[in-house]
Amino acid sequence: MASRLGKPTDGVVSRTINRRVSTRVTRMLVRLGVRDPNKVTLATGILGVLAALPYLLVNPLWTAVAGLLVQLASILDGVDGEIARMLGRKSGFGAYLDATTDRIVDATSFTLATYAAVKGLGLDAGLAVLITGFVVSAALMVSYVHARGEASLRRSLQVTGRVRPWASRDVRLFILALGSVLVPLLPEPLGWWELLATLIGIAVASYAYVAAKTIDLWLLWRSGGLE
């Protein structure tokens, strides 16, 4: 069931964890009469934004709760597409709506998680803004590059070229969840330093992928493999 409803571009976390749960939810919702994937997209988008709100409390325990909710939202994010594929209701607007809500959820999750880390550490406001900008922009860049590739090159970058995604959305959110859950398990301020290091690590890995993928595509273009 999971393989039939999944996508060839699924990341490792989606294939091994998320789809195992989301496909069961999808099957249950279809049995209950849910037929509109766009409404599910909006519902899971709202859930994704709400999931990150506990970060605002800047409390180790609530940070762990936020991490668990972020991962739950990431799992449920696959339901809309699964319903669309199961019922043959895929549409261009549905893909647009899904991508847009995903970016809103990503920006919210990484902004609020970074806020919790820098606030918990009492970092200088200017430094906090720089770190937040770096983390949030990195979280959005991988998805942007893939979307731009589909628009400009008319092919999926996840399966084009030699460089495969190592910082896909499912992986980024899963690592954020793990980093968040660890915060209350470590003494303060070590827990907040761990979360900040996790966020910066995700950002570095994301920008490294963007650079590697761009070079990969350039080499493919030079060799005549791209228009």
For residues 180 and 60, give the distance between their C-alpha atoms in angstroms, rounded to a whole number.
8
Residue range 99-155, pLDDT digits in tens: 999 999 999 999 999 999 999 999 999 999 999 999 999 989 999 999 998 889 888
**Which residues, 6+ apart, have CB-to-CB distance to 129 below 8 Å?**
none
Chain center to CA of 176: 9
Residue 181: burial class (beta carbons within 10 Å; 0-12, 13-18, 19+): middle
Residue range 10-43, pLDDT digits in tens: 889 999 999 999 999 999 999 999 999 999 999 9
CATH number for the domain whose boundaries are 2-222: 1.20.120.1760
For residues 52 and 55, give the distance between their C-alpha atoms in angstroms, rounded to a whole number.
6
Q: Is 102 known to be catalytic?
A: yes
From 80, 98, 102, 170, active-site residue? 102
What pTM value is reported for the model? 0.94
Percentage of residues in the chain having pLDDT higher than 90: 85
| Other Cβ atoms closer than 10 A to 197 | 12
φ, ψ of residue 169 in degrees (nearest 5): -60, -45
Residue range 170-191, pLDDT digits in tens: 999 999 999 999 999 999 999 9
User: What are the sequence ranges of the domains in the chain?
Assistant: 2-222
Rounded (10°) CA dihedral 23, 26, 32, 37: -170
Any idea what DSSP says for residue 163? P
Residue range 60-77, pLDDT digits in tens: 999 999 999 999 999 999
